Amino acid sequence: MKITAVRHSQHTIRFEPAFRPSWDTRPRTAFNCDLVRVETDQGVTGIGAGYGVSGIEQFAELFVGRDPRDLERHFRIIDNISFHYGRFYPLDLALWDLYGKLAGEPVWRLLGGGSGRVRCYASSGSLKTPEQLAEIALRFRAEGFPAMKVRFQRARWQDDIAALSGVRQAVGDDFILMVDCNQGWRMQWDQAVPWTFKDALNVAKHLEELDVYWMEEPLHRGDYAGMRALRAATSVRIAGGELTKELHELRELVTTGCLDVLQPDVVCTGGITGLRKIATLAREHNLDFTPHTWGDGIGLLANAQLAAGAHTKLLEFPYDPPEWLPTIRDFPLAEPVLADAEGYIDLGTAPGLGLVLDEEKLARTKV
């Protein structure tokens, strides 16, 4: 059995109306998906997706002619390429999808998971008015989600706290709230500076009063000392690691006590091959391991497969009506990924990542 080709295509749809994520000062008018396919001489193809993987085909020679099941070998090469060029870990996802199809098993089972059901929290993405935020929180609770993540990034953190207070008042005490402070990184055109330790500590004190489960990225991604000090100073869990570039950085976040909740994304760092090891390390250090996943449905399914294998408590489910709906988020797929009435994604027993592409739509949206 041999790999015969590695192929890449980019697809895009328009946002109507524009989506205004809290972490970006520029409205989003389009949504892109980079699709990766690994083909074999047995006619079985593995699928992965992400963003920013243009140029991956020039490295196809490093994989063509190789056995696709040699995942560790392939991961080493992908990791090398990702260091020198872009984040090409979607290729690892395609190889796992292929491996599962060849084995006739879902990836979650190959990773040692006992169930393909993963419970999710609803993850909002935009800065709504306090009234809109309370309304959407009630909607999420009514749809069965046990938790919601609220975004901060207003001009004053005091205004963020005021909006969050309205949500807590609306949903009561039996609904879990998380907060994404969005201080770890910026878009390339954003000149804002991250919070200081004392800023973050002031916010944490208010979050304690509102019984917030975690505060995500309260400091710059490289402020390890600040994270450790903040973790020691507050009862609110400290979360981070979503766009961390390399596995050794994730290991340091875990082993030096920076975080309570680790949030890497298989699309951005390590793929499934690398992050399954980090998930084990996090568990051994009594950290919550809950993958970040804010992209298309293929990335969501890949992270969900890993989450099921790692026995993750709650997985991020990107959902921010009316702009960001599963039908938009998952446009490459024949059917959107949905949560059931209790907030669970059921991955089922379909082999590989369990995805089915909408080839007609992909043809229409190809760049």
233-257 confidence digits (pLDDT tens): 999 999 999 999 999 999 999 999 9
Q: State mean pLDDT over 257-277.
A: 98
Domains of the chain in start order, with CATH, are 3-104+359-365 (3.30.390.10), 110-346 (3.20.20.120)
Burial of 341 (C-beta count, 10 Å sphere; 0-12/13-18/19+): exposed
Reduced to 3 states (helix: H, G, I; strand: E, B; else coil), residue 333 is: strand
More confidently predicted of 218 and 54: 218
Assess whether pLDDT exceeds 90 at residue 27: yes
Confidence of residue 52 (pLDDT cuts 50, 70, 90): confident
**Does the structure show a pLDDT above 90 at 17?**
no
9-18, 305-314, 343-352: least confident range: 9-18
Residue 358 corresponds to which tokens in the numbers above? Answer: 């909408």
302 Cβ contact list (under 8 Å, min separation 6): 48, 93, 96, 107, 266, 267, 272, 353
pLDDT at res. 16: 84
Amino acid 225: pLDDT: 98
Distance (Å) of CA 116 to CA 67, 173, 305, 321, 344: 27, 29, 7, 26, 10
The secondary structure of 42-91, three-state, reads CCCEEEEEECCCCCHHHHHHHCCCCCCCCHHHHHHHHHHHHHHCCCCCHH
d(CA 349, CA 256): 38
CA within 13 Å, CB half, 190: 16
pLDDT in tens, 115-134: 999 999 999 999 999 999 99
Identify the bridge partners of residue 9 per DSSP, sorted by sequence position. Answer: 35
Instruction: State residue 193 phi and psi, 5-degree precision.
Output: -100, 150
Q: Taking a C-beta distance cutoff of 8 angstroms, is the pair 151, 125 a contact?
A: yes
pLDDT in tens, 185-198: 999 999 999 999 99
The predicted model scores a pTM of 0.97
